[in-house]
Amino acid sequence: MTLITPQPLDQEDEEMLVPNTEMLDGSLPVQGPVAFDGTPPVEAPQPMEVVSTAENQATEEPQASRFTWTIENFSRQTNKKLYSDVFVVGGHKWRVLIFPKGNNVDHLSMYLDVADSSTLPYGWSRYAQFSLAVVNQIHSKFTVKKDTQHQFHARESDWGFTSFMALSDLYDPSRGYLVNDTCIIEADVAVRKVIDYWSYDSKKETGYVGLKNQGATCYMNSLLQTLYHIPYFRKAVYHMPTTENDMPSGSIPLALQSLFYKLQYNETSVATKELTKSFGWDTYDSFMQHDVQELNRVLCEKLEDKMKGTVVEGTIQKLFEGHHMNYIECINVDFKSTRKESFYDLQLDVKGCRDVYASFDKYVEVERLEGDNKYHAEAHGLQDAKKGVLFIDFPPVLQLQLKRFEYDFTRDTMVKINDRYEFPLELDLDRENGKYLSPDADKSVRNLYTLHSVLVHSGGVHGGHYYAFIRPTLSDQWFKFDDERVTKEDTKRALEEQYGGEEELPQTNPGYNNALFKFTKYSNAYMLVYIRESDKDKIICDVDEKDIAEHLRIRLKKEQEEKENKRRYKAQAHLYTIIKVARDANLLEQIGKDIYFDLVDHDKVHSFRIQKQTPFNQFKEEVAREFGVPVQFQRFWIWAKRQNHTYRPNQPLTALEESQSVGQLREVSSKNHNAELKLFLEIETGPDLHPIPPPDKSKDDILLFFKLYDPEKEELRYVGRFFVKSSGKPSEIILKLNERAGFSPDEEIELYEEIKFEPCVMCERLDKRASFRTSQIEDGDVICFQKLPKADDKYRYPDVPSFLEYVKNRQIVHFRSLDRPKEDDFCLELSKLHTYDDVVERVAQYLNLDDPSKIRLTPHNCYSQQPKPHPIKYRVAEHLLDMLVHYNQVSDILYYEVLDIPLPELQCLKTLKVAFHHANKEEPVIHNIRLPKQSTVGDVLNEIKSKVTLSHPDAELRLLEVFYHKIYKIFPLTEKIENINDQYWTLRAEEIPEEEKNLGPQDRLIHVYHFTKEAAQNQMQVQNFGEPFFLIIHENETLADVKVRIQKKLQVPDEEFSKWKFAFLSLGRPDYLQDSDVVSNRFQRRDVYGAWEQYLGLEHSDTTPKRSFTANQNRHTYEKPVKIYN
């Protein structure tokens, strides 16, 4: 739920910034402005107001402007999404896109969209900082505003917030966001000029190359560039022992050597796939963004381990290892405890610190152990003491990890700290007479450091982008390494602009109120690397080819040559024709193994690359050399695609066709410019198996191909080809086919013509008495045959058509338990045509379950590799294929669960999770109530009564809707449960106190909530917590009287209760009460705002136990631990 605070500048932390993506079943979305039904978006008909536009061309300085969109009749909008009018900022056209009912979430979804993206030239890109706001028309300071920045391009032409603000807040007329059913949206946009990414040559412009992003590996790229540009480290990696037999994908040292070599000598950006494969990562890992700090530690630990026992053993320690001393020193007795620890990086606080020095001051801050926290000093017992940390030595390369991400215990979530935090170009850790150093430190070492690199994170807590500013030689010239792109940057860009904080941008439209726009800078330094001045000559050393093992140089040069050959091959492709030649040997090898339909997979036959002007007769000589078949014994057939989508040899090449060039022949065979020339080579052999000239072919001769089916073995194989006369009959070739099959001459066989297999199989029995011409048999046709089936045969697929039908529709399905969605439990071979009942019966049979209706299946999301959120309803999916299709992909995974009651019965029921609060017990008990959908709230409460022990037999219950520690609704007993949602709200059942049943005419039932106040955005915010409750207040009753009843109800000890404060709160603003105040006087307004927005607040510290951080399900994407497996 978005917290509504005055001008909130840090709310990006609460959700992931995403492009507009319409999510169905949790799938990876279809991008852009076309709806799923294919209809173009409907423009909103409301009058719009453009406050200002900026027509100037974009420059280095950002141009900013505000656009205001007034939408009338907002609650009556029927379109799924609305676009604003187009407005111009920085010479670019923009518009706002909203989903009034949410983009498949229960929040308003809002994005900034490039209005003319569909007409922009290939490779377009533009960069903008922007904020989007829904204006509060009653109290402007409660306007909900969020800001971010994004590089827009063709694949991400819109960007914003899927969960901008809760729909319950937006549509509540008392909140002030809809007044007279009108919603006002503001967009502040600032545009900066960006480099033309597509034409930019990093090597030419900077002398360095970038790293390709595999999907979400920018965090790794920025770290690898930083490590590569520490030459001493690079040299050590080159000297790690590897052999010519190692494979980069299985050896981290070799993969890293290969990567560094390519960074040093390549002309274009370098791929990291070999390295991530050597880590043991799959594609999923490459699309999972991790934490740079964690990867740095894991990688260095792995390299340290790999370097043991080699000439470079200890390099990681020499470069990065420092030591500090943890001490506890007693104040009143002579006792001191110390412990030396090593570190490879230091984690510095950002929150509450203005710069690096302030963080170091905090790091060595002395803590007093006194009072209840005294130190137990062995023989001296409990003593007052000082506790702290001092540094024994710092490493030559100092890695400072800035704690930009912290866990907010109040909100039970991670947040990003975007505060301004400065860091110097030169860092003096000997300052103030060595205040950071322990007495044991070597004072002869000068701890003066110079900044080498700044790793930057741009974005929020749930995701973002990493890049690095590095000065490889420690000169004044900085370079920005942003995945594939490297650019020259000045010191200001590398330092000051990465401090974070806020940026003020003036409007550039003359004559308009030029108020400053304030943007939170979501791009800020996240990791700093400093190099000690006294060690820089050793660390910034020369690294050249002699440091690289010879076998590695040979291997990588060979790779470069192969890459160059591929490039040349591609560049010359237009001069050549690819000719694919299929032979009998290919058909024999493939039919019944790789393929069952048609004759051959052309991707698995011999391929020739021949210059287009080469005469075909000259090509035949090439074939003779390759296959050992003299030219005079070769006859080539052209393959043709038939109307029924089969692909068969159509006719032999004529002498005239063979006199043409291969390029001309290809053009005749296919008009497709890039098509290959596909041929079948007919070779006849004599009794000695040597080639002989092909037989003459008259118009009456037909070339047929034959497949034999064995129903016992369920096997189909190729048995050759021969010519028949079109006037002849199938009965005339029975003897020959029996011979090919190895049958006795008098074996009765059945013949079938394989006609087509798309979209369905057509295989028909051939009339043995009719001529081939009558049966419309022609060149290239396929005849399947088998022994005549007998009545007592018990085969699964007794004939060719049934077998081909089976092959066409068979599907291996991997079943996974819904509780363990990553692990295959078992596999079943099914048919795509199986009905819903067939599938669940097979699953139940495998699980030894008597009742298949207790199986519930859930389909697989091919994009997220997770179960879809909604299971398959009973018999709704007609066939297995319907269960497996996900957009244009067919999955082979289904998830199953075994229910305690049959699925049809369950679907008629509604399950609600209700927390029952007993009148005399502290802990609520969760009950899953399952009732028919037409049941009422009264039925739910009766069911609960049957499950719990009440305080007295006549106790009455009520059902409440609780959200974020506030009571939003008391459900009427007659309300149907079908539409009650327990996914987002907590349903709470409780006994109705006797005193509430007998309200006097002047008594009021008020809401009572617990709250604390915390500082956020330089203002105090109210945070509710704990269990809310109702309380009766009587006429003229003072706060002192009310407090007595509250203390008794909550059973709070006197000492603790004396610290509590009491306030009347309306719309989040506390008005503190004195004991003599008459409470009922504050609760006079009955219908202005929702009852939950006027309440009696109990201010005290939140002592309820927090969920452990690891248990929180809403963890940001970094928190899957980085693992390097090899």
Cα-Cα-Cα-Cα dihedral sign, residues 265, 268, 274, 279: positive
Provide the pairing of β-strand 1004-1016 with 1094-1099.
parallel
Q: Is 925 helix (H, G, I), strand (E, B) or coil?
A: strand
CA atoms of 1039 and 1042, how far apart (whole Å): 5
Classify residue 383 by its DSSP letter: E
Query: For the chain, how far is it from start to end, CA to CA, in angstroms?
Result: 42
Using H for helix, E for strand and C for coil, what is the string for 715-762? EEEEEEEEEEECCCCHHHHHHHHHHHHCCCCCCCEEEEEEEECCCCCE
Q: How many Cβ atoms are within 10 Å of 628's Cβ, its own excluded?
A: 8
Using H for helix, E for strand and C for coil, what is the string for 443-462? CCCCCEEEEEEEEEEEEECC
926 neighbors 962 (Cβ within 8 angstroms): no
445 neighbors 436 (Cβ within 8 angstroms): no
E strands, 918-1053, are 925-932, 957-963, 966-970, 986-991, 1004-1016, 1019-1033
Classify residue 890 by its DSSP letter: E
Burial class (CB in 10 A: 0-12, 13-18, 19+), 792: exposed
Q: What are phi and psi of 793, to 5 degrees?
A: -65, 135
Q: What are phi and psi of 51, to 5 degrees?
A: -70, -45
- Amino acid at site 838: D
CA atoms of 61 and 192, how far apart (whole Å): 6
Q: How many Cβ atoms are within 10 Å of 398's Cβ, its own excluded?
A: 22
CA atoms of 722 and 710, how far apart (whole Å): 21
Say whether 107 is catalytic: no
Q: How many Cβ atoms are within 10 Å of 286's Cβ, its own excluded?
A: 19
Token couple for 743: 């049958």
Q: How far is CA 1083 from the centre of its chain?
A: 49
Token couple for 253: 């040292």
Token couple for 146: 């969020």
Token couple for 528: 């700093």
Q: Which stretches within 239-355 are classed as H helix?
A: 252-265, 273-278, 283-286, 292-307, 315-320
Classify residue 871 by its DSSP letter: P
CA atoms of 199 and 213, how far apart (whole Å): 18
35 neighbors 62 (Cβ within 8 angstroms): no
Buried b (16+ CB within 10 A) or exposed e, 260-279: bbbbbeeeebbebbbbbbbb
Catalytic residue (choose from 218, 300, 330, 353)? 218
Task: Label residue 32 left, alpha or beta by phi (over 0 means left) and psi (-120 to 50 means alpha).
Answer: left
Catalytic residue (choose from 107, 452, 465, 1116)? 465
CA nearest neighbour of 461 among 1119, 1112, 1123 = 1119
CA atoms of 763 and 765, how far apart (whole Å): 7
Say whether 330 is catalytic: no
- Per-residue DSSP letters for 341-353? EEESSEEEE-TT-
Residues marked as catalytic: 218, 465
